[in-house]
Amino acid sequence: VLLQIFDAFKPRLHDSNSKVNQVALEAMHRMIPLLKDNLSPVINMLIPAIVDNNLNSKNPGIYAAATNVIQALCQHLDNSLLLQPFCTKAQFLSGKAKQDLTEKLA
């Protein structure tokens, strides 16, 4: 059931409408403390949706929301769940997104 919910939710995390995108990121930020490690089955799908475009966004609201989501993941999930998806994304990112994710890995 969780997989079906996040399959439907994931496209909103990188919606072309910046307001939809930002609200989805803010909703994700509120969900993380509630779901915690129960997110493990969908974490490999969520990390790219959260990071791609959002951490390099020129829209300050989207960038801030994406940064908050990454911070919440680090606070509320077992770090071992995040290590592989963060490393994989950090390899292929550029600019501020690469810097931000590399700092989280360190």
Pair of tokens at residue 5: 């919910």
Percent of the chain beyond pLDDT 90? 95
Give the per-residue pLDDT at 78.
95
R_g (Cα) of the chain, nearest Å: 13
For the chain, which residues make up each domain, given as ranges?
1-104
Residue 78 CB contacts under 8 Å (≥ 6 apart), including other chains? 37, 40
Give the per-residue pLDDT at 106.
86
pLDDT digits (tens, 9 = 90+) for 18-57: 999 999 999 999 999 999 999 999 999 999 999 999 999 9
